[in-house]
Amino acid sequence: KNQVEQSPQSLIILEGKNCTLQCNYTVSPFSNLRWYKQDTGRGPVSLTIMTFSENTKSNGRYTATLDADTKQSSLHITASQLSDSASYICVVSMNSGGYQKVTFGTGTKLQVIP
């Protein structure tokens, strides 16, 4: 069964600190992995995408890594800000008969406190 598991479920950190969120998946055949940020009461917004050949990609203070061999990804947030408080969702895509099938993780809820 295609699954995407994220850890931790929730996390509280002090403003200015770094944190790393984890994503493990069993989706196959792998197409790409995307991290979304979902603010409370809003829809998810794409942060970054990783394809099979990419190991690391940065978007400002967000850095995503991908190990396609172990089927793991991480999202590292540097120098956290209050505005980083949100849920972060890992989404893995696979190709299925010419159609892209997407599996969503349950998310990690991050709270950044002053």
Partner 1 sequence: NAGVTQTPKFQVLKTGQSMTLQCAQDMNHNSMYWYRQDPGMGLRLIYYSASEGTTDKGEVPNGYNVSRLNKREFSLRLESAAPSQTSVYFCASKRGGFNQPQHFGDGTRLSIL
φ, ψ for residue 82, nearest 5 deg: -55, -35
| Contact stretch for partner 1 (CB under 8 A) within 10-18, 20-28, 68-76, 96-104 | 96-104
- From 23, 34, 66, 80, residue interacting with partner 1 (rule: CB under 8 A): 34
**CB 93 → partner 1: shortest distance, Å?**
7
CB-based burial, 62-84: b 16+ in 10 Å, e otherwise: bbbbbebeebebbbebeebeeeb
The site for partner 1 (CB under 8 A) is made up of: 4, 31-32, 34, 41-46, 49, 51, 89, 93, 95, 99-100, 102-107
